[in-house]
Chains A and B, each alone.
Chain A
Amino acid sequence: MSAEVDLGGRWRLHPQVALRPERFGALAYHFGSRRLSFLKSRRLLDVVEGLEAAPDPIAACRAAGVPEAELPSYRRALATLAETEMIVRI
């Protein structure tokens, strides 16, 4: 399923989603769907916060310093966030 999400183009946090930083990463809460998700690293939090300023999510990963080898796992995490509409296309 996740593999099918096309992560091209510009994305951002859904306007109804709030992020709460935690030691392990962050909680993401969607006030519309009342869904709670976990961002499981601080770097993923940086990536999500940097989405809007980046031309596409992969560029946001690079800007946040995600090593090349970890890009696939970050891509999966972002795809999951896209499926649950925690992040949306601009």
Chain B
Amino acid sequence: MRLVEEFEAGLAAPICITWELTYACNLACVHCLSSSGRRDPRELTTAEAKAVISELERMQVFYVNVGGGEPTVRRDFWELLDHAAAHNVGVKFSTNGSRIDAAAAARLAASDYVDVQVSIDGATAAVNDAVRGPGSFDTALGALERLAAAGFERPKISVVVTRQNAGQLDAFKAIADRYGAQLRITRLRPSGRGADVWDDLHPTAEQQRSLYMWLLEHGEEVLTGDSFFHLSAYGEALPGLNLCGAGRVVCLIDPVGDVYACPFAIHQEFLAGNVREPRGFEGVWRDSELFARLRAPRSGGACESCGHYDACRGGCMAAKFFTGLPLDGPDPECALGHGERLLAARGAEVAIPAPAVDHSRVRPPARPPAKVCDENPLADFLARA
């Protein structure tokens, strides 16, 4: 069996696990994949979180991607970080930077087991703040400055590629170089609040192609979390595993302990169980029916006859699901344009699954209709940008 097939059949423990520590966040990014804002009263307690860390240690999950919400707003954040390090679980955490003061930066610089990822979604304040909120660009750069001053080596700058910032890739790279950081760029998916803005924010076909060319050129220096494998269909395959890892090598533990197949798939359909169950996280990972189904051989549907199927494999399951496309067909951003055609042909009767979990502080009362959306939910922001 090829390695990729082994991965598709699932591993003894995840390789890439995301753990959202809290739904609380002081920002309200329009594209937030977890629809974060308010804390959930059912969030895991410190003791429960430590029990999860013990399980991860036992399962030899070597590192976790910690996020939220804004993970640093949890009062026991530092305690959990130290606990993970003491138990051989490395932490890579994503932050908006707002709570990385000089003391926090020094503390992070002193730890061997922690990686920090500061998010910006524009290389200029105008583009960034339109999505992440006023002042968030300066906040993020301030955090990077303090990390550099404290001697923290090679933090990451995490960027979600959008229609508005797709032309700024070189500028992002320059910012990363300026702070001694490594650039990480990932794909915008129609998950969480991202579903509300995806139509307006996701890169155009033209931009996707330029992005692909840029990745070919900079692949070595830039991290992508393997999120652009669907672009391989533009030419040669991009480096990486080139598969949808949901429930196979990837999963999410959300703040209340729910285990989903992927951080971009917070929906009942992809809920495998909860770490509070007697079987624990390990039992959910090993035995859940959902994960067994995701690990079983699947048909590529309409994609199977495509010459790029080997590298693209039909793209991202979550992107298809939250745009109402069949899971065994092309990605909405299929490089050959099949996704776009399907989206255009999508009838009004197609129900777009809404996220089951929403902790947004403010949210538009109704989701915009799936197809022709006259009202641009970003109109206010775009006018200012």
Chain A contacts to B: CB under 8 angstroms: 18, 20-24, 27, 29, 31-32, 34, 36, 38, 40
Contact = CB atoms under 8 A, between A and B. Distances in A.
A20 B12 contact: yes
Interface residues of B, number: 16
A87 B320 CA distance: 42
A22 B88 CA distance: 19
Nearest to B9: A23
B88 A18 contact: yes
Contacts of A23: 6, 9, 11-12
Interface in B60-114: 60, 62-63, 88, 90, 112-113
A10 B220 CA distance: 33
Contacts of A29: 60, 62-63
A24 B3 CA distance: 8
Interface of B: 1, 3, 6, 9, 11-13, 15, 60, 62-63, 88, 90, 112-113, 115
Contact of A31 (B6, B12, B15, B62): B62
Closest 4 CB pairs of A and B: A29-B62, A20-B60, A24-B6, A22-B11
A40 B5 CA distance: 12
28 contacts: A18-B62, A18-B88, A20-B12, A20-B13, A20-B60, A21-B12, A22-B12, A23-B6, A23-B9, A23-B11, A23-B12, A24-B3, A27-B11, A27-B15, A27-B60, A27-B62, A29-B60, A29-B62, A29-B63, A31-B88, A31-B90, A31-B112, A31-B113, A34-B90, A34-B115, A36-B15, A36-B62, A38-B3
A22 B248 CA distance: 13
Contacts of B62: 18, 20, 27, 29, 31, 36
A24 B12 CA distance: 11
Given A23-B6, A24-B1, A24-B6, A34 B63 contact: yes
Contacts of B6: 22-24
Contacts of A32: 112
Contacts of A22: 6, 11-12
Contacts of A20: 12-13, 60, 62
A40 B6 CA distance: 10
A84 to B, nearest CB: 15
A36 B62 CA distance: 9
A17 to B, nearest CB: 10
A13 to B, nearest CB: 14
Given A27-B15, A31-B113, A32-B112, 20 more contacts: A18-B88, A20-B12, A20-B13, A20-B60, A20-B62, A22-B11, A23-B11, A23-B12, A24-B1, A24-B3, A24-B6, A27-B60, A27-B62, A29-B63, A31-B62, A34-B63, A34-B115, A36-B15, A38-B3, A40-B3
A47 B57 CA distance: 24
Contacts of A18: 60, 62, 88
